Structure 1
Amino acid sequence: MTPRALPHSVTLAGRGIRLSRRNTDAVVTSLMLPVMMMLVFVYFFGGAINTGTEYVTYVVPGVLILCAGFGSAGTAVSVSEDMKGGIIDRFRSLDVGGAPVLAGHVAASVVRNLVSTALVLGVALLIGFRPAAGPAAALAAAGILVAYITAMSWLSAAVGLLAKSPEAASGFTFLVLFLPYPSSAFVPIGTMPTWLHGFADHQPVTPVIESLRGLLLGLPVGTAPWLALAWSAGILAVALGLSGVLFRSRTS
């Protein structure tokens, strides 16, 4: 990365945030959908699901990941819109490289996700969620969540470069929204069909959720945080390499 890449990334992150603020419908959806999902699960289904604890206590970490995934997936659409609108070519004519452009989108995604996460946590506290995390555990949970958001945002940026249109890029949102369901997000994995246990136990979302749940509630976490960070690092490495290749091929 060149010496000018960092200020370019900061400037483009600001652009991404301003664009998000102007797209009112997308902002409202990204903020309200996770809150509505949490309320639906807690009040519609929570009474029928036995998790050994208050359901709101169990489900909040899963909703945070659902929120993070949905918000991160929007990066694919933003990048695809820039590609389709010729904005990337304009940036390149100004000697702005691919890394700052994509990093700007990712940084804006992280900021948006932190805002929506704060909103979800605020509503969760109002309806009965009571975390027991100390400062160190809360900081560790925040670090794991940011690592996951960053990795998924970079993967979304790569998908945005791969997609031929913003409409095609939006399909990635459905995949990311589905991933928390076959995990420990909403019900214990032991209650799922046996044939599903292998996937639910060994997909990237499960250790992230288990880490957040354990750290926020003061429960044992075992190796879950290390697995969560390993998954995030692996996704990030693949996404960085893929986005670099795709950016060069799409703009050459």
Structure 2
Amino acid sequence: MKYKLLNNLIPKIESKSESFAHKVIKQLLYKKILENNSNISDASLEKYFESRRADVYFKLKSGQEVVIEIQNSPITSKEITTRTKDYNNRGIYVLWILYGDGRCVGSPKNPKHVKNLKISPTEIRLHQLYRGRVYYVNIKYEKGKIIATLPFGLHFTNSDNIAPILFRKRFESFFIRNVNYTYIPNWNLLCTSSNNYKIARFYDRNAKSTLVESLRSFIKRTNLSRNQKIINSKSTKKIFKVICRLYQDEYGKFFIINSLRQLLRNKELILKEKFPH
């Protein structure tokens, strides 16, 4: 085989530790991104920039530079902003990736849709920075072998039944959110700007875009955008209930309402009555 398994890439250990998880994820990302991108001209592990040390560094043939910050231990939202700005001031794009079972997350994260999950302030800050996504990688221990998962993205929306406030419990602070999984199709990196920050990300679709597209197809399929009998005010609640039955298990009421409002603003859906609260 051209490439060896991950457990042959790193030394074997007897016990699970946070520092080791960081090492596994770092080597996985370095190896896989380098193997699967033809537009990389330079790459290194632990690249130093004066007071900063990036976990992984890539230089693209376009001249753009990317650092990957793998976060395992607790970090403040302020420190995320400070590090990102520091790299940006050097003209470098930043890709933040969290260990899904690390101490920086509010609760363990996996690639699936989940309701009412604990989200840390760190995750909320990255969700803002990356316009509706946070990237994670997990590692698993099975039969003495180390298995690293592919990166996955999660999108957060307000819970349908729990207030969107910051909860505090002893030394712990967290939010409660619904979580939606987004698939990452390949290892290619995209350099872009978001809220005046230079960020690098994968070519995954935003979860809201996926839901809006699905709703758009449903509207066209059922002729909701043109059928006046359906559009009348008496049918609005009925329409909403039908849509919720189809999508609420995965996305939640709050997320569905926001997505439908986008279609209303674009005049792809016309309803005379407001959505139920």
Query: TM-score, length-normalised on structure 1?
Result: 0.26
The two structures have a TM-score, normalised by structure 2, of 0.25
Query: Per residue, is there more helix in 1 or in 2?
Result: 1
Give the structure with higher Rg (CA).
2
